[in-house]
Amino acid sequence: MTDVASLSIENGIGVLTIDSPPVNALGIAVRRGIDHGIRTLGADDSVKAIVLICGGRTFFAGADISEFGRPPEEPTLGAVLDVIENCSKPVIAAIHGTALGGGLELALVCHYRIAVPSAKVGLPEVHLGLLPGAGGTQRLPRIVGPETALDLIVSGRPIKAKEAERLGVVDALAGEATLREDAVAFARKVVEEGRPLMRVRDRQNKVDPYRGKPELFAEFRRKNARAFKGFKAPENIVKAIEAAVELPFEEGVKREWELFQELEPSIESQAQRYAFFGERGTARVPDIPSSTPTLPIAKVGVIGAGTMGGGITMNFLNAGIPVTLVEMNQQALDRGLGVIRRNYENTAKKGRMTQEQVEQRMALVTPTLGLEALADVDLVIEAVFEEMGVKKDIFARLDGIVRQGAILASNTSFLDLNEIAAATARPEWVVGLHFFSPANVMRLLEVVRGDKTSKEVVATAMKLAKTIGKVPVLSGVCFGFIANRIMNQRAVQADALVLEGPTPAEIDKAIEDYGFAMGPFRMIDLVGLDVLGRGEGERTVMRDLVAMGRLGQKSGGGYYDYDEARKATPSPVAAQAIADFAAHKGIGNSGSQSDEEIIARLLYPVVNEGAKLLEEGIALRASDIDMAAILGYNWPVYTGGPMFWADTVGLPKIVAKLKEYEVRYGEAFRPSPLLEAKAAAGESFTRG
C-alpha cells in the first residue's frame, strides 16, 4: 500500500501495520501511511474495527525531530490524529517498545490501547525544550488528572505498561509475544460487546474538580522553581495543563498549540534538539565503520577501589558484568567495597532498588589484593593515583599478567596515554577510558585513542559505553583531553579575574545565572582547597588560603565563610587574602564587572579552546565538545554547550572580545585560526 504501511483484514478486523525503521518516528511518510490506512479501512464495509500496530522494535517514538524548524508537510500530525479520533470504527493502538511523545499522543486518540508488559509510554518532549503539541497536555490530564499529568509531562518520565494500565492510560495488557493476536482479539471483543467509541477528549471527570483552583499549579511552580531555572518548556507545560482544566477541549488544544509554537523556535529548544542528535552522533568515528568487529566484554578488572575505581565498578555491576576489584591493601579494599554497598543501600532506601538487587550486584564483585587475579578478564581499567611512574609500572606488570586479546584501559585524566601504552608490548590494546566523577552518575565517558590503539579496541570501547549507559566521546591524546581541557580555561580565568575586582560571589553569581549549578569558587570550597591546590608550586590565592587553614566548607571557610548549616557568606578574610595577593602581583582593583563581562571572560576562552581541539584533530566534531561539556560538567543543556552557544552569541563578537583580551592580557587569548576563519567567513561550528 505505501512504503511504510501495510493492511490486512482478519475476520472483520482491519490491521494497519506501520514499519519505518529505526523507531517509526512520525515523519511525513509515516503520517501519509497512517492517514491512508485508516481512511481505507474506515471505508471498507467488511471492517468493523481497526488495530494500529508497528513493525520493528517499537511503537511510534514520536514526531520526527529532524522535521522541526522546517515548513510542515501535509498531512500534519494533528490532521492525522483527527482522522483516527473521528473514525467511525473503533481504533485500537497495539503498543510495544516505546510510545513516546507524538507516539503516545497518537495512542491517546485511538479509542482503546493495549500494550505488552515490557512497553513504556511517556511524553518526553520537555527534554527537547518542547511540550506535547498534538493534544497530549489536554488528553493525558483527562485520564490521570492534572496532578499526575504535571508530574509525568514536566519530568518527561516514561512509565511501564503496568503502571500505565493502573493509571488508565492503557486499557489492557497483551502477552509479551502475542501483541498482534491479542490486539485483534481485543478489537473483536469491542465489536461483539458493542462497546462505544471511547474518546479521551470527551472525559471531564478527572479535570473538572480542579477548575478555578489555581493553587495546585502555583504550588507546583513554587516547588520546582529551582529545577525549572533557565528552561522555557516546563512553564509552558504547566500553562497548557492549566488550560486543560480551565478551558473546553477545543480551546485547550488551541492554547497548547500556541504554547508549543512559542517553544519550537526558541534557542533553548533548538539547543536541546541539537543535544539529542549530538548525543547519538558521538559514537560515529569516520575511519571506524560500524561493521568493525568488537570484542565481547564479559568480565572486567578495575584497579583502585577509591572514589573513581568504586564508581567505575558500579557501572559494570549495574549492567550485570562481573568485576574483579584490585587494591593494594585490605583496608583500602574494605573501605572501597563499603562505599559501593552504602551507595546501593541508599538507593534501596529511596525505594529505587530492592535489597535483593543490592545483594545481587555486590555478589558480582570479586575483591582481591593482587593483579594476578586479572589474568583472564576481557578488560582492565586502571584507576589509581594520577602519577606517570605509578601508571607505567602497573601497565608493565599487567602486560605480563593479563591474557593476550584483552583491553588495557587507563582512567587517566591528564597524562599522556601513549607513554602509558609504551610501557607494554601491546600498545594497540591500550585505550583511555576517562570517567567523570561521580563515575556511577555522570554520563560522559571520554574514550581516548592513542597513536597505536586499534580500531577494534576503539569500536569496543564505544559500544561498551552504551552498555553501561554512558555517552562516549572520542578524544585524541592531549593534556586534559576534551572536557577537562576546555573547562580548565574557565577555572584559570576565574582565578585571574578575582584578582582584578569582581568578588568570588559576583563571579559565582554570573556563572550560576548562566545556568551552571555552582560557580567556580563555591565548587572549590566544596571540593576542598587543599585537594585542588595540592602540592608545591608558585604562590597562588588558593595556596595562601590553605596556609591560613582555609580549606573550604569542611574547615568552615575558604573563598566564603560557612556557618554550621554550611550556608555561604562572603568572607572579609578571603577578600583580604585576595587583595594581598593581587598587590603582590601588582594587579590593581578595577572594581565590579557586569555579568556579561564576567561570562565573556570566563567562557569565551572555553570556546577558543574548543576551536583548538577541532584544529588539532583531538575532537572529531563541535557537537562532541558540547556533549562532553554538558554530560561531564553539567554545562546547561539549554545553551547547547560551548560551541553551540558560541554560534548563538555570534563568532565575530567572540573573536573581537578575545582580541581585546589579547591586547590587555597577552597571547593566551589569541583567537584560534579556525575560530577566526569561521568568524570571518560567516560560518558557524554547529549549524548547517
Instruction: For 539-571, give one letter per residue: b (16+ CB within 10 A) or e.
Output: eebbbbbbebebbbbbbebbbbbbeeeeebeeb
Distance CA 562, CA 574 (A): 12
∠ CA 417-418-423, nearest 5°, is: 100
| Dist CA 170 CA 149 (whole Å) | 15
State the Cα angle at 424 between 419 and 430, rounded to 5°.
70
For residues 66 and 592, which CB has a smaller minimum distance to ligand 3HC in the complex? 66
Choose between 64 and 242: whose C-beta lies nearer to ligand 3HC.
Answer: 64
CB of 239 to ligand 3HC, least distance (A): 15
- 3-class secondary structure for 422-484? CCCCCHHHEEEEEECCCCCCCCEEEEECCCCCCHHHHHHHHHHHHHCCCEEEEECCCCCCCHH
How far apart (Å, rounded) are the C-alpha atoms in residues 149 and 143? 9
Cell, residue 678:
569561521
Kindly state whether residue 90 participates in binding ligand 3HC, applying the rule CB under 6 A: no
What mask of x and - would describe binding to ligand 3HC in positions 259 to 278, judged by CB under 6 A? ------------------x-
Q: Which CB, 274 or 344, lies closer to ligand 3HC? A: 274
Asked if residue 280 binds ligand 3HC (CB under 6 A), the reply is: yes
Question: Please, is 97 exposed, middle or buried when counting C-beta atoms within 10 Å of its C-beta (0-12, 13-18, 19+)?
Answer: buried
| # binding residues, ligand 3HC (CB under 6 A) | 26
Q: Which of 35, 125, 268, 446 binds ligand 3HC (CB under 6 A)?
A: 125
Q: Which is nearer to ligand 3HC, 85 or 544 (CB)?
A: 85
**Smallest separation (angstroms) from ligand 3HC to the CB of 18:** 14
CB of 599 to ligand 3HC, least distance (A): 30
Q: How many CB atoms are closer than 10 A to CB 616?
A: 12
- 305 burial via Cβ count (<10 Å: 0-12, 13-18, 19+): buried
Among 246, 261, 256, smallest CA distance to 146 is for: 246
Q: Which of 62, 427, 641, 642 binds ligand 3HC (CB under 6 A)?
A: 62
Please give the residues from 23 up to 52 whose contact with ligand 3HC meets the rule CB under 6 A: 23, 25
Task: Point out which span in 120-128, 165-173, 312-320, 615-623 binds ligand 3HC (CB under 6 A).
Answer: 120-128
Per CB under 6 A, does 64 bind ligand 3HC?
A: yes
178 binds ligand 3HC (CB under 6 A): no
Site for ligand 3HC contains 63 (CB under 6 A): yes
Residues 135-174 vs ligand 3HC: string with x where CB under 6 A? Answer: -x--------------------------------------
Region for residue 549 given its phi and psi (left: phi exceeds 0; alpha: psi -120 to 50; beta: otherwise): left
Q: Rule CB under 6 A: say whether 632 interacts with ligand 3HC.
A: no
Is there binding between residue 102 and ligand 3HC (CB under 6 A)?
yes
Residue type, 76: T
Contact between 445 and 434 (Cβ < 8 Å) = yes
Which residues participate in catalysis according to the annotation? 105, 125
Could you give the CA distance from residue 65 to residue 273 in angstroms, rounded to a whole number?
A: 7
| 256 makes contact with ligand 3HC (CB under 6 A) | no
Pick the piece of the chain touching ligand 3HC (CB under 6 A) from 125-133, 309-317, 326-334, 588-596: 125-133
State which H helix or E strand residue 122 sits in.
strand 120-122
- Interface with ligand 3HC, residue 286, by CB under 6 A: no
> Which parts of this chain interact with ligand 3HC (CB under 6 A)?
22-23, 25, 58, 61-66, 77, 98, 100-102, 105, 124-125, 128, 130, 132-134, 136, 277, 280
